[in-house]
Amino acid sequence: MGAAYFYHLTRRPLQETLPTLLEKARGAGWRIAVRGQEPDRMSWLDESLWQGRPESFLAHGLAGGPHDALQPVLLTTGAEAANAPDCVMTVDGAGITAEEVQALQRVCILFDGNDAQAVQQARVQWKSLTGAGCSAQYWSEESGRWEKKAEA
């Protein structure tokens, strides 16, 4: 049974935080789906990852290509990911179900702490997932480094 980790982004933007989390998940041997809501935003994120840190290479693909099933990291807007992920990372308020959390190794929910609507959406997701019996952790970077602030 997996767990949901909530990442409250307050100091670094998504395009800086996501690669670090993806590298850690890949280090665990996991295949990952990054789930968003808007195709244009996922295309932007795809481009950001390709232009990422020069010291690392993060192989990934944007859903809809001929090799989706082979991608170690697949960016998608759909609930089903062709790469059979062990971990799903949601961005921009994309939904995740308690059943998915329980079936996966890990779910990471990244949300912009400078956006009141995103914070409210994350609170709703926390209540929904923990209310359904999912394990969850809340992580904040407010102090300048990631700290676990809550666990359920």
What is the secondary structure of 56-75 as a DSSP string? -----EETTSTTGGG-SEEE
Domains of the chain with CATH codes: 3-151 (3.40.50.10110)
**Dihedral of alpha carbons 112, 108, 93, 59, sign:** positive
For 131, the token pair is 């209310």
- Write down the pLDDT at residue 21: 96
pLDDT tens digits, residue range 20-66? 999 999 999 999 999 999 999 999 999 999 887 767 788 999 999 99
CB atoms within 10 A of CB 139: 17
Q: In b/e form, how buried is each residue of 12-34, taking b as 16+ CB within 10 angstroms?
A: eebeebbbebbeebbeeebbbbb
pTM: 0.95
Helix (H, G, I), strand (E, B) or coil at 11: coil
- Write down the pLDDT at residue 43: 96
Min mean pLDDT across 50-54, 75-79, 101-105 is at 50-54
Q: Given its phi and psi angles, is residue 123 left (phi above 0), alpha (psi -120 to 50 degrees) or beta?
A: alpha
Rg, C-alpha atoms of the chain: 14
Q: Please check whether residue 35 is in contact with residue 87, taking contact to mean a CB–CB distance below 8 angstroms.
A: no
Strands annotated E in the chain? 3-9, 32-35, 61-62, 73-76, 87-90, 106-112, 135-140, 147-151
Does the pLDDT at position 127 exceed 80?
yes
